[in-house]
């Protein structure tokens, strides 16, 4: 059995680069007006028309994601190349793909950024981000992030960085015991392998999934594992269940 996971966010000490974008390519000339979003104005640019932004009030899971035409907006390279270090807890899950693809396709270089990815757990990366030893984190709003903000870390959450595919296999996976089915499995007392543990932002959908099967965050035993070890532990019986991330 499984339940769907949710996306993660980017946390940065300083905004690196951004441009307005969103749905399919209506009015791609960027020549007709502006769109008000909250207390700011999104100005269309070439290749990203007036509809190229996602209305924050639209929370529908079927809403059209933000999109500009391929290759747009055009790069605006910095006068001098800037070295940027971005931390991520693991390089392998699908949610890191936007970073990996941008590196592979040279998108950062086009903007005058020399980007290095550094694999660091969120609790280890946060103090480095606050001190300026790294420039950004590709991470979820975990408890460690919230504690850092409350403790005075001068960091900002600037953008969502991932939306899972509707056919995503990320979620709760359980090793069924004799007589159990995916629709009828009891979770209370079982061990769960997870990268983050109970401080994860994924705790909300976890709780909903567990409650459906007689469990809860207070009724399971967490086993924190590396991203490459979670699936292996589930397969060999090291844990009874796991919260797996794409690609599964």
57, 74, 91: which is the final residue of a domain?
Answer: 74
Query: What CATH number is given to the structural domain containing 193?
Result: 3.40.190.10
In this structure, is residue 102 part of a structural domain? no
In this structure, is residue 200 part of a structural domain? yes
In this structure, is residue 196 part of a structural domain? yes
In the 8-state DSSP scheme, what is residue 12? E
Note the pLDDT of residue 65. Answer: 79
For 119, phi then psi, to 5°, come to -85, 115
The strands making up 156-160's β-sheet, listed across from edge to edge, are 113-119, 82-88, 136-139, 9-12, 156-160
Note the pLDDT of residue 63. Answer: 81
Note the pLDDT of residue 110. Answer: 95
In this structure, is residue 57 part of a structural domain? yes
Identify the domain containing residue 50 by its residue range.
21-74
In this structure, is residue 1 part of a structural domain? no
32, 59, 74: which is the final residue of a domain?
Answer: 74
Residue given tokens 């991520």 in the structure block: 88
In this structure, is residue 124 part of a structural domain? no
Torsion of CA 55, 161, 52, 64, to 10 degrees: -70
Digitized pLDDT (tens) for each residue of the chain, 248 residues in all: 444 333 444 455 433 433 333 334 445 555 444 555 456 676 678 888 766 877 888 888 788 878 888 888 889 999 999 999 999 988 877 888 888 999 999 999 999 999 999 998 888 898 999 889 999 999 887 788 888 888 888 888 887 767 777 788 888 888 888 888 888 888 888 888 887 666 777 778 888 888 888 888 888 888 888 777 888 888 888 888 888 877 76
40, 74, 108: which is the final residue of a domain?
Answer: 74
Overall domain count for the chain: 2
In this structure, is residue 210 part of a structural domain? yes
Note the pLDDT of residue 113. Answer: 96
In this structure, is residue 207 part of a structural domain? yes
The H-or-E segment that residue 233 falls in is helix 227-235
Note the pLDDT of residue 29. Answer: 52
């Amino acid at each position: 059995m499984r339940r769907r996971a949710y996306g993660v966010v980017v946390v940065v000490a300083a905004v690196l680069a951004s441009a307005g974008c969103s749905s399919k390519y209506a009015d791609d000339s960027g020549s007709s007006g502006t769109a008000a979003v909250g207390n700011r104005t999104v100005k269309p640019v070439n290749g990203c028309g007036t509809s190229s932004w996602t209305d924050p009030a639209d929370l529908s899971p079927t809403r059209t994601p933000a999109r500009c035409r391929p290759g747009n907006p055009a790069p605006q390279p910095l006068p001098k190349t800037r070295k940027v270090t971005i931390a991520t807890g693991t390089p392998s899950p699908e949610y890191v793909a936007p970073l990996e693809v941008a590196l592979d396709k040279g998108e950062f270089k086009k903007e005058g950024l020399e980007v290095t990815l550094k694999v660091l757990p969120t609790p280890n990366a946060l103090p480095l981000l606050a001190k300026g030893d790294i420039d950004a984190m590709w991470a979820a709003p975990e408890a460690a992030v919230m504690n850092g903000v409350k403790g005075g870390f001068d960091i900002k959450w600037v953008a969502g960085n991932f939306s899972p595919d509707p056919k995503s296999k990320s979620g709760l996976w359980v090793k069924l015991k004799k007589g159990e089915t995916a629709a009828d499995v009891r979770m209370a007392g079982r061990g769960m392998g997870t990268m983050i543990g109970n401080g994860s932002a994924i705790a909300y959908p976890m709780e909903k999934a567990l409650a459906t099967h007689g469990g809860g965050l207070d009724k399971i035993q967490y086993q924190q594992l590396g991203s490459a070890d979670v699936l292996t532990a589930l397969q060999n019986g090291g844990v009874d269940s796991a919260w797996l991330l794409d690609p599964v």
